[in-house]
Every structure is written in C-alpha cells, then in structure tokens.
Amino acid sequence: MKSYIFFSVHEKLFHEVAAGLRASGVDTHSGFVWGEQQARTILDRGVTYEPLIVFTRDLLPLCDDGQQPDVEWLERRERELGVSIQRMLAAERHLLKGRTYEQILRLAEVILREVAAAYDRIKPDFVFSEDISCFTSYAHFILARERKIPFWCIGTARLPKRLSIYSAGFQRSERVESLYNEIRARGLTNDERVEATKYVDEFRNHPAPPPGMNVRAVRPGMGLEDLRYLTQAVSRYLGDRDDPTSTAPLQVIRQRVRRIARIQIAEITKLFERPVAGEKYVLYPIHFQPEASTLVQAPMYLDQISLLREIAQSLPVGYRLYVKEHKTNRGRLPLSFYEAIKAIPSVRLLGPDEDTWSLIRDARLITVITGTMGWEGMLFDKPVVIFGAVWFDILPHVYRANDVPKDGWYGMFSKALTAHKPDSEAVLALVSAMFQTSYPGRMHNPRSHPEAMEPSNIADITRALAASAVGPAHG
C-alpha cells in the first residue's frame, strides 16, 4: 500500500509513524513538507519518500513567478470542488502576508494544480495528516475527497490520553457521530452508561484542562526552556528561510520581549477585573488566534471585538458579559484589544488566572465561537451558545447562533437563559461514542510536547492509524 503524508509541523512524529506502518503492509510513502530543513530531518533515515514535495523548492517559485492567475480555471475548479476558494484562503495564516490579491489567487491556482497533479501521479491509497489548518492542507483534503482517496486526520479525542482517527475533516469524527446516533436510537447499554457517567462525574468533581494546555499556558520568560525554543526556531529558520512556518530569530526575540512587557503593564495598570459574587453573568472565553478552530471552522467570526459587542447587545438586562482571557494568550495581544473590550457596556474583563471551573459552575450560560469551554459547559449541564461549526453541535440542546439572524439573538439568549433544559442522556451518549471510537495515545506537537515522541506513543498512533486506514486486523 501507498501512503501520502501531509507532514505539517510534525515531520519527526509522522516519519516514525510511517516507519511503523511497514508492519501493516504500507511500504511506499510520499508526502509534503514546507521547507528544506524539514526534508533533511526525515530523508535518508529509514523511510524512502517517492516523492517528497518541498513547498519552498517545488511550489513557491511557481507561486511567485509573476504570472497572472487563471481566474476562469479557478472559477471552474471552485464549481467542481463545491467549496469556496475564498473561504479556503481564509484558513491561511502564513502565505497571504505581503501578497496582492492577484498574487494570492496565483498561489491558490498553483497549489490546487500541483497537489492534484501529485495525487494523480502518485495514486496513494490514503493520506494522513493532522486536521485541516491552512489553505494547503485544505487543498490536500478537498482534492483527496474529489479523487475518493481517504484522508485520515490524527487528532485528540478530547478524552485523557486518547486519540481520534477520522476522515470527515474539520475536527469532526464520522464514527463518533454515527455511533452517537445509534446509541440515541437504541439507548445506552448498562456498561456504556457506567463508563460515561463515571467520566462526567469525575470531570465535574475534578475538572482538568484539555491535554497539552498546561504546557501552552506557562507564563513566558527568559529561562532555559525559552532558550531551547529559541534554538529550535533559529535552526528551523536557518535551515530554510523561505519556509512560511518558520520565524526569524530576531522576530522570535522581539515577540517574547513584547509579551513579557505587555504582561507586566497589564498587571501594573490592573487591566483585568475580578468576578463579583452574586452577579448574574454569561461567560465568553477569548479564543486563541490564529488557530484552525476559528480560521477553518468559523471564518465569519474572527473579529472577536465585534462579536462581543453583538453578544452584549443581545443579552437581557440584568446579565453581565464576563470575558475571560485565555492562558495561552498571555501578552500576545496588544493592550488596545483589551481596552476595546472593556469599553463595551456590560462587559467585565477577567484575567487568564481566574479559576475557569468556578466561572463555568457559576455562569448562567457559556458562549463560544468553537472553544473547548463550550464542551466543558455541556458537561456541567450549562446552556451553551456556539457561533462556528464545532464537533459537539450534534447535541440537540446546543444553541447554534449561526442558524439565527442576528436580530434574533436576543430571543435565542433569552430562551437559553430562562427556559433551557439539559439533556444528560445525549451528553452521556456522546461521551460513550467518544470512548468507543477512540484509541490510546496522545497527539501533540513534539516541539512543545517531547513526550509525543516516546516509542510507546508512536506505537499507539501507528496502531490507531493502521486500524483505520488499513483494516481492523492491524489495529
């Protein structure tokens, strides 16, 4: 069998997975990396890639060749693929900067043409990657779908130390949704109910952040760990300066110094407020950006300040809007961003160190674009309003703001605040489906989570992928 790998920034991890797939009969590999430094990391190291497409070597010169885009071709391909190319481009976080509109369309044309040609030439049996997180991965996904090539995403199952392997993309598991619908139709078995109830009860009594969040939430500084990160950034940048996923060393240093300064100014000026006992509030977590969860799944709601104004205007009188900063956002955003939020009537801006679980427990409602706090709110039986496409919106008691005209948001929020009825059976069914369709293992970026490269974890990921892409006998 042949695999095609979209390595993203996981070249070391996915290279080891490719090596492990030999035992399942997958002995031919090809793939896509961003830069020469990534290519050098995996070439001549036990796995042959026939071929390995390097963006900076094979595609970037064509993107920047000065030719005008073939707009008629793009229009035709957009109709054939059934996907808005403009929306696909909205998912891009690296390649658009500094390019004119015509240059952006030329870039889209080149990537769509070249990836399609690679698929047609290589004819892989399946593709594997992390989930869709940029225009290029979006193109790989949509072109694989057109050719009926399975595109397997490796992601977190949103359960402790569990993996999810799925082919629907967009952080949605077709297996979870299918089994969830089956359980809802027939009812939970006793074993399913016991397992799901145990998880929900343990989460409510001892809630824990999503896997990897503790690492991402560490306060930035200038210690040994920060020096290690800088060393990695320098190595990656010097390995291929055109790699769009790399950052110039001086820029890394400037970003770190700026983050530290912003944090200190915020503390000195007492930028953030505290919750007020007894106050009725709706809770909104500031989303980390840029991030695939918003760029891909909610591109119409990227302006969080505008969204917060609209939420505040839609809440019934007597409710405050508590806006909590994300721990991983420490110092990343300009102070003017927070001042604009604080200027919104009814908003109380809370800092990243406020206790999330107490805020969720005491909130009258949780509202998110696509954030994990929405799922955590569901586990606490809170009404949850969402704005983007998110994996738990299959639950019948989720309020989908995207389906309601903005002039109707007041009615939606009023209903959620005063007439909400939790559906614990639906939550238990979803939790059970998540357990039954997931696998042991952890999917993290090895740069920030070295434990992802542990041999046992690589073996777990390989077994899970083989079970999905090759067949149950290999799981």
pLDDT of 228-266, one tens digit each?
A: 777 877 787 888 889 988 888 888 888 889 999 999 999
Q: Calculate mean pLDDT across residues 85-111.
A: 96
HSE-up (13 A, CA, CB side) for residue 156: 14
Distance CA 159, CA 434 (A): 8
pLDDT at 296 over 60: yes
Q: Calculate mean pLDDT across residues 195-200.
A: 98
* pLDDT of the residue at 474: 42
Q: List the single range of 193-197, 200-204, 327-331, 461-465 with lowest mean pLDDT.
A: 327-331
pLDDT at 473 over 60: no
N residues, the chain: 475
pTM score: 0.92
pLDDT at 42 over 60: yes
Q: List the single range of 137-151, 252-266, 353-367 with lowest mean pLDDT.
A: 252-266
Distance CA 108, CA 69 (A): 9
* DSSP-H helix ranges across 52-173: 60-63, 71-81, 85-90, 101-122, 135-146
* DSSP-H helix ranges across 147-287: 174-186, 190-205, 213-216, 224-239, 249-268
Q: What is the DSSP letter of 397?
A: T
pLDDT band at 215 (very low <50, low <70, confident <90, very high): low
Q: Calculate mean pLDDT across residues 461-473.
A: 88
Distance CA 52, CA 39 (A): 8
- Which three-class secondary structure state does DSSP give residue 442? coil
* Stronger pLDDT, 365 or 171, i.e. the higher one: 365
* Averaged pLDDT of the chain: 93
* pLDDT of the residue at 472: 58
Distance CA 351, CA 272 (A): 5
pLDDT at 295 over 90: no
Q: What is the DSSP letter of 400?
A: E
* pLDDT of the residue at 216: 59
Instruction: Calculate what percentage of the chain has a pLDDT beyond 70.
Output: 97
> In the chain, what is the straight-line distance between the N-terminal and C-terminal CA atoms, in Å?
16
Residue type present at position 388: G
* pLDDT of the residue at 475: 42
Segment 5-20, tens digit of pLDDT: 999 999 999 999 999 9
Q: Is there a contact between 211 and 442 (Cβ–Cβ < 8 Å)?
A: yes
* pLDDT of the residue at 76: 98
Q: Which residues pair with 400 in a beta bridge?
A: 386
Segment 402-445, tens digit of pLDDT: 999 999 999 999 999 999 999 999 999 999 999 999 999 999 88
Distance CA 201, CA 320 (A): 29
* pLDDT of the residue at 159: 94
